[in-house]
Every structure is written in C-alpha cells, then in structure tokens.
Structure 1
Amino acid sequence: MAGPEAVAAPVLSVEDVSHSFGRRKALDGVSFAIPAGRFAVLLGLNGAGKTTLFSLITRLYNNRSGSIRVFGFDMRRQPSQALARMGVVFQQPTLDPDLTVMQNLRYHGGLHGLPRAVIEERAGEELSRIGLSDRAGERVRTLSGGQRRRVEIARALLHRPGLLLLDEPTVGLDVELRRLVLGHVHGLCRDRGLAVLWATHLIDEALPRDGVIVLHRGRVLASGLMEEVCAAAGAATLDESFARLTGMGRVR
C-alpha cells in the first residue's frame, strides 16, 4: 500500500504523442501532465497544433502513437471511462440556437445517462452560478456571445467531470467578457478542484499561478508553472519567455 507521501496520479497525462496529416506532422512527441486543481494554459500561435491535440484528447482523432490517460484510463483501451470524466468546450459554438437554454442542458445530461431529476437540479445550480437562471426558458439565439460561452461551460459540467478542456473559449469576445469567462473557470478550478486545460493564443490569459504549456509547431517547448517556464527561458515575463522559446515576436 502506498504511503501518505505517495504522489497522486495526474488527472491528464499526455506522453510522447505525435500526429500527422499525410506528410505534415501536426504534433511531434508531445508530453505533459496536469494534476487536480491546476489551471493549465496551452499557449501557442494559430496553427501550433492546439486543436489537433484537443481532438486527440477527446478522441475525435485516434492517437496512434504515445499515450493519453485521464484519471489513469487509457484513451485507446478505455475510452468510455476516460471520456466520462471530462467536460469539453470546443472552439466552435455547439449549442442548438433554436432550443432554450434548459433544453440544451437537458439534452446533454440525457446523453450522459443522468436521471431527469438530477439534470434539473444540476442545471439549476450551474445556471445560478453563472447568473443566467432567468434565461433558462429563452432560446439560445437570444443570448450574447459571452452568455452562450458560459452556458457551454455549464453544460460541460453537468455530469461532474474532473477535467475541463476549453479550446480558444474567448474567441470573438470583448475584453470584459473574456475577463468574466476566465474568472469563472478559475473559480471552478479553485472551488471544485477541477483540472483545467485552457488552449489560447492570447498570452494575457495566463495568470501568475497557472501552469503553462508552450506549444509551437507541434512541439512542447516548455511546461510547468509560469515562474518555472520563465526561469527556464531566462526571462522576466511570460511574453518575453514565449518570444525567446519560439524565436517569434511577442504575442498579445
């Protein structure tokens, strides 16, 4: 039996994962791990491989090399167990605009096999948390972009996952809405102990205590807490670190 000093297995473990589209290698030996309660920013320019990596983690693509594990469940051999423990917010909107907010949540909960009473209770809790209880009966198309994003996050949490993946979740949102969505997810990470993987090309979405994974042209150039990434790059800021690691100009 493991002693109290044993280190818990990571919530998400990606080891030596590569992926190609024909002759073009989109990912090359990608490895990193995220523990419970960690908000990790997957930082890379457009085309770095972030969406390809998300597609592998969510099994939209099959990973043919390396391994992806969620709470220890291997994505190739135990996909049902792995997928049941994650919630996903994709880059493209996925709510049905002609259904009401509550109908979207009920449909998602049903796909996960949740009893109707549980769906109603959890949906009510999540909508209250994001301040949209009064919009539950309205069609999604009447919501603003920021409100739709928050509903997508609420939907992703209905089945109580331990891992939340978000692919460029603030695209198209103004500065204030970006701040609200980012703060909401940080709160979930803090209050519920969620492991979060937040993919973005916007460097100001990474906060000082976050984990950072720098992905560039399909390869992980650095991974760790922000201060560790900066120290490894010999830089004072993440902006400068990114520029040094990638050889590219600073990103905003």
Structure 2
Amino acid sequence: MAEPALLIEGLSYAYGRGTFALKDVSLAVGAGSFTALLGPNGAGKTTLFALVTRLFESPGGTIRIGGIDLRREPAQALGRMGVVFQQPTLDLDLTVRQNLLYFAALHGIPRRTAEARARESLERLGMAERIGETVRALNGGHRRRVELARALLHEPALLVLDEPTVGLDVPARRAIVEHVHALCRERGIAVLWATHLIDEIGDGDRVVVIHRGRVRAAGPVTEVNRATGADTLTESFTRLTAKEAA
C-alpha cells in the first residue's frame, strides 16, 4: 500500500506536569483525501498542528510526511507540506506578489517559476487582479486566499490548515472550503483541515473527531455515523464529545 501523505502514531504532548493537551493520538491522511480534524475549542487541534509543523516537538510518538520521519529529516519532511496557520502570517505592507515571491525564494524556487506559479494560484482563487495590491488593502477572505496560494507555491503533496475560516463570513468560508476540496479532487493533494464547524465537512470526507486530547472516532463520515448510531455528523459529534465521553 502507498505511504500516507501524513501518518501520526502514538503522539502525546503535555504542557507542564501531567497536563496533557494530546494523549496517544494516531491518524492517517491518504493522498488526495480531505480529512477534517473536528473538535471543540480546546480539544487539542492547534497543539497537533504545532507538532506537525514542528513549532513544538513531542518527546514520543511518530510523525511521517510522505514516508519521511519529521524528527529525523525535518527539512525534507516539511518541504512536502504546505501550511495555513490559524493566525494570519502575511506581511501587511508588502504586495500580494511580494509576499508570494519572498516565500518562493525561501524554498529556492527560481524567480520565473515562482512568478508563473503565483499567477496560476491566484487565478484559481479569483485573485489575479489583486496581485499588485498591498495585503493591508485586502479583506479577511482575500487575505486567506493569498495565504492558501502561498502554501501551494512549492507544490506540496500535503496541505494542513488550522481553522482557516475563523472570522470569515459565510460566502468567504464556503469559497475556501470548495476550493480546497477541488485541490483534492483535481490535483491529488492530501488535506488535513482542522475545524469546529461541522458544515465545512462533506458526506464524502473523512473525519477525525478529537476531544480533550484524544481521538474519539476516525474514518469516513458515513462510517463514523454508523459506529455512533447517529443519522448525522452533528449528532455523532454531540455523542462523542459529551461529558461521559471524556
């Protein structure tokens, strides 16, 4: 079988003594799949993303990106991944083009190639005409689109997004959700999408429900619903994150 785009096994992380944000978490994201990491606020989603992006390091467990061990070969593993963090990370006083080209230079992408990829990504996102504007002049939804375009410049096999639609209105949220699903279908990119918003997850997606630092269920939405005896993902989520499930 092909190696998953992302494989996490036995991952734990504690803040201070005995205060576990994550406890023995394991999950896999296959090539071309949209996997939603679904959990309430404080469930451990952001901590997991910090470990996957190596902002934090866990003393135990394994993270493999495209078969490459993140701890042993961090540069090679991270090079296969694109990231959109929950907090915006664009330089507000640079133009869209300058932000993208700076990121491309950090990845060693030749200038001509970077220009072509930047324009292509922005066109797919309906942002080509904004390339010369400063990021400060853009609204929240457009800034998110630029961050997504930036994350794709080095053509990663895996895209991880930590609650990327927080603070956006419904049309902007929907546009980004639909675009990322299209990336999975059309380009075979694997996606790990952290959210607490169930309406961002489709019936054909995979879901990992996390609660109080532990994985409560994982698999296609239909299978999770079957396992919990629920008719909808909303109902499954309610049952899996109830107090007695803690």
Q: TM-score range by the shorter chain?
A: over 0.9
SS at match of 1:189: helix
Residue aligning to 2:228: 233
> Could you give the per-residue CA deviations for residues 162-183 of structure 1, whole angstroms, max 9, x where no partner exists?
0000000000001111101100
Q: Does 1:22 align with 2:16?
A: yes
- Name the structure 2 match of 1:222: 217
Runs of 4+ aligned residues of structure 1 deviating over 4 Å after TM superposition are none
How many Å separate the matches in 1 of 2:188 and 2:200?
A: 20
For 1:197, the equivalent position in structure 2 comes to 192
User: What secondary structure sits across from 2:126 in the alignment?
Assistant: coil
Aligned to 1:8: 2
Aligned to 1:107: 102
- Aligned residues, how many? 243
Q: Which residue of 2 aligns with 1:183?
A: 178
Match of 1:150 in 2: 145
5+ unaligned residues in a row in structure 1: which ranges?
A: 1-6
Q: How many angstroms apart in 2 are the aligned matches of 1:210 and 1:59?
A: 26
**Alignment partner of 2:111 out of 110, 116, 131:** 116
Any conservation in 2 of the 1:230–1:238 contact (CA below 8 Å)?
yes
**How many angstroms apart in 2 are the aligned matches of 1:16 and 1:150?**
33
Match of 1:88 among 83, 88, 109: 83
User: How far did 1:247 drift?
Assistant: 1.0
Question: Structure 1 residue 244: deviation in Å?
Answer: 1.1
Of 30, 34, 58 in structure 2, the residue corresponding to residue 63 of structure 1 is: 58
SS at match of 1:10: coil
CA contact (8 A) 1:119 1:158 kept: yes
* Structure 1 residue 124 displacement after superposition: 0.9
Aligned-partner Cα distance in 1 for 2:71–2:59:
9
Is the 1:63–1:76 Cα contact (8 Å) retained in structure 2?
no
List gaps (5 residues or longer) in structure 2: none
Question: What CA distance in whole angstroms lies between the structure 2 residues aligned with 1:163 and 1:39?
Answer: 10
Q: Shift in Å at residue 201 of structure 1?
A: 0.7
What amino acid is aligned across from residue 134 of structure 1 in structure 2? E
C-alpha separation between the residues in 1 aligned to 2:101 and 2:84?
17
2:140 paired with 1:130 = no
Match of 1:164 in 2: 159
- TM-score calculated relative to the size of structure 2: 0.97
Whole-angstrom distance in 2 between the partners of 1:229 and 1:82:
30
Cα deviation for residue 228 of structure 1 reads 0.9
Residue 33 of structure 2 corresponds to: 38
Q: Following the alignment from structure 2 to structure 1, what is the Cα–Cα distance between the partners of residues 169 and 51?
A: 29
Instruction: For residues 63-115 of structure 1, give each alpha carbon's deviation from its aligned partner in whole angstroms, at most 9, with x where no partner exists.
Output: 21110000010011011111000000000001111000000000000010111
Identity of aligned residues (%): 62
Structure 1 CA distance for aligned equivalents of residues 141 and 207 of structure 2: 24
Contact residue 27 and residue 49 of structure 1 kept, 8 A: yes
Aligned residue identity for 2:161: L
Cα RMSD of the aligned pairs, angstroms, is 1.0
Q: Which residue of 2 aligns with 1:173?
A: 168
Which amino acid is the alignment partner of residue 159 of structure 1? Answer: H
Q: C-alpha offsets along residues 178-204 of structure 1, whole Å, 9 cap, x if unaligned?
A: 101100111111111000000001111
